[in-house]
Amino acid sequence: MATLRLGDIAPNFKAETTVGTVDFYDFLGDQWGVFFSHPADFTPVCTTELGATAKLKDEFERRNVKAIAISVDPIEQHHSWIKDINETQHTTVNFPIIADPDRKIAELYDLIHPNASETFTVRSVFVIGPDKKIKLTITYPASTGRNFNEILRVIDSLQLTANHQVATPANWEHGQDVVIAPAVKDEEIPDKFPKGHVVVKSYLRLTPQPNL
């Protein structure tokens, strides 16, 4: 399987999960998705990550996002691990964890990187849009926990830029000014961006976030 790239259709699959058998596309419906992989159950960094994801339930729901995780360990082990996650992270896991002991989904999404490990999945994140296209991929080393604030920030940017002709500048956060897309002509700006704009350079035009 070739590496999945931005704009590719996320492959569909059926899998056994901690909430029963799931068809990936049916699970996502018309919502956004965050699909993230874990090297193995009962690992320290993953335990903190799944706890962090559970605590972000309201933030994901506010953005119309569904979370789903995957590990190559079997379903019985997942259920035991969830008990540890809930206990140590002071939360309740509220999203499915896929069991992938035959590594079919891991191979489908290119989650086995032999130079890192020939048996365990890497720590990858896919953000998938309602059109089932991959909007973001990030792969972390096993030693580094994911920054879920960054994942939320990118989702905010993706949802904003999908509906408005803007881009978000470096270190942008929700509520800050955005960049007007180069395709927008100067004479079109007043109608498209009635909140006003600032011309820093002819190619760098800023406007308040339009969906606030």
Q: What angle do CA 178, 180, 182 make, to 5 degrees?
A: 145
**Catalytic hit among 46, 105, 111, 125:** 46
Is there a catalytic annotation at residue 51?
no
- State phi, psi for 79 to the nearest 5 degrees: -60, -40
Q: Identify the three-state secondary structure at position 115.
A: coil
Which of 33, 44, 46, 93 shows the shortest CA–CA distance to 72?
Answer: 46
d(C-alpha 91, C-alpha 49), whole Å: 12
**Is residue 71 a contact partner of residue 101, using CB atoms and an 8 Å limit?**
no
Active-site residues, by number, are: 46
